[in-house]
Amino acid sequence: MKSVRQPRQWLYRLAAAALSATACLASYAAEPPIKIGLVAALSGQSAKSGEALTRGLTVAINEINAAGGVKGRQLELVRRDDESNPGKGMLAARELIQREKVAMLFGGLDTPVSLAIVPLANQLKMPFMGIWAAGTGITHNGAQENYAFRVSAVDELVDEALINYGVNKTGMKKPGMILVNNPWGESNEKGFRVALEKRQLPIAGVERIEDSDVDLVPQLTRLKNAGADTLLMVGNVGPSAQVVKSLHKMGWQVPVVSHWGPAGGRFSELAGPGAGRVTFIQTFVFTDRNTPKGDAVLNALKQQYPAIKTLADVTPAVGIANAYDAMHLAALAMEKAAGLDGPAIRAGFYQIDDYQGLIKHYRQPFSAQQHDALGPDDYVFAHFVGEQIVPVTP
């Protein structure tokens, strides 16, 4: 009996060990994903840009998950629509942080929305990554512990670049400003004034536009009568399109040098045949000749989204590129972090040494003093040709 009982005992032990190993593997496999939050305009005139941010994040997350995820866990994107409304954006951010328990929060298109979210993110110690809105105060927010990072343009740097372009390319000597009437427009007016004062250039005037405006002839007429030889424009898709339509109505062929608002949606459709006259700034443009990384991302986009057939279908590329690079940098920060709490991830951003991104090769992109990964050398100028955004020929 003893000789029979002993093999059975070993069989029982082996079975128990197998069950234990299976349970461990099941437990590992069932470990919940790390949630990544996105608050952006997913409806309305800027919905196309919100979709671009979603696509950039999704392609990056797919790559990260295919390579094993972060700390052995998969990433999961959770989105909320802010409808370009600061109050709704802040409520959406609070829900993602407190109810969905996201590890990182990504912010979308509108500077006023991001400016509403940043104090909440700093208060709750939630890393916030800006991937479109360019207001200087988003990252330069004065907080003792700043949790706002950005892979996007920065107004004060963009303003300098726009003035430089106007002087060198359009012969600008007396610009007029036409700016959206919100904190984004105010931020850029300050930057424009600083850049113009450095060059001792006069200002023809400053006019404000509202999202609801449908006729801007009165504002533009005042700028024309004041002798404006170039328009410096800041506004999202709708207001920018109304500027172009009103210029066409007036027959005024003044150069328009713009922030990147026109790239944010159906500008070529809304502005009509004058859309191509507006030159605007970008951080990235897909072309017929991309880097190997650019071709790889473009191919991934076409596989993930079958509706993408041509380069015009990936407009605005800037949203895709900013979001893609920002997600990979955030994954590196989380991987380097001691844990997945906010302070640990924030410290992880400062430990990033090197990343070959879509927009550029990042080398130590963040520090305690610098939360913006892109600078003026990373900007390009573009315009619409039909429905496609194309770099301006130097």
Residue 165 sits in a domain of what CATH number? 3.40.50.2300
Which pLDDT does position 19 carry in this prediction?
A: 46
pLDDT classification of 40: cutoffs 50, 70, 90: very high
Question: Do 141 and 200 have their domain in common?
Answer: no
Distances (CA, A) of 131 to 38, 142, 301, 322, 324: 10, 20, 18, 5, 9
Which pLDDT does position 86 carry in this prediction?
A: 95
Question: Do 362 and 296 have their domain in common?
Answer: yes
Which pLDDT does position 316 carry in this prediction?
A: 86
Over range 275-286, report the average pLDDT: 94
> Which of these three, 249, 282, 315, is where a domain ends?
282
> Is 69 a member of any domain?
yes
Number of domains in the chain: 2
Question: Do 41 and 77 have their domain in common?
Answer: yes
Q: In sequence order, what DSSP letters do the residues of 133-177 get, joined into one string?
A: ---GGGT----SS--EEESS--HHHHHHHHHHHIIIII--SSEEE
Tens of pLDDT, residue by residue over 56-91, are: 999 999 999 999 999 999 999 999 999 999 999 999
Question: Do 169 and 190 have their domain in common?
Answer: yes
**Residue type at position 250:** M
Q: What percent of the chain stands above pLDDT 70?
A: 92
> Is 41 a member of any domain?
yes
Question: Do 124 and 179 have their domain in common?
Answer: no
> Is 361 a member of any domain?
yes
In sign, the C-alpha dihedral spanning 132, 136, 137, 140 is: positive
β-strand pairing of 380-385 with 230-234: unpaired
Question: Do 52 and 114 have their domain in common?
Answer: yes
Question: Do 140 and 161 have their domain in common?
Answer: no
Distances (CA, A) of 10 to 2, 23, 126, 293: 13, 20, 52, 55
Tokens at 194, concatenated: 């600083």
Tell me the pTM: 0.84
Tens of pLDDT, residue by residue over 21-35, are: 444 444 445 689 999
Question: Do 162 and 278 have their domain in common?
Answer: yes
Q: Whole-angstrom Cα distance, residue 243 to residue 232?
A: 11
Tens of pLDDT, residue by residue over 296-319, are: 999 999 999 999 998 888 878 999
Which pLDDT does position 152 carry in this prediction?
A: 97
pLDDT classification of 47: cutoffs 50, 70, 90: confident
Question: Do 125 and 241 have their domain in common?
Answer: no
State which H helix or E strand residue 115 sits in.
helix 111-123
> Is 322 a member of any domain?
yes
Question: Do 56 and 160 have their domain in common?
Answer: no
Question: Do 148 and 165 have their domain in common?
Answer: no
Question: Do 278 and 296 have their domain in common?
Answer: no
Tens of pLDDT, residue by residue over 134-191, are: 999 999 999 999 999 999 999 989 999 999 999 999 999 999 999 999 988 998 999 9
Longest dimension (CA), the chain: 111
Q: Whole-angstrom Cα distance, residue 86 to residue 76?
A: 25
Tens of pLDDT, residue by residue over 350-362, are: 999 999 999 999 9
Range of the domain at 187: 156-282
> Is 27 a member of any domain?
no
Q: Whole-angstrom Cα distance, residue 127 to residue 124?
A: 9
> Which of these three, 248, 282, 316, is where a domain ends?
282
pLDDT classification of 237: cutoffs 50, 70, 90: confident
> Is 381 a member of any domain?
no
> Is 187 a member of any domain?
yes
> Is 84 a member of any domain?
yes
> Which of these three, 257, 282, 307, is where a domain ends?
282
**Is residue 262's pLDDT more than 70?**
yes
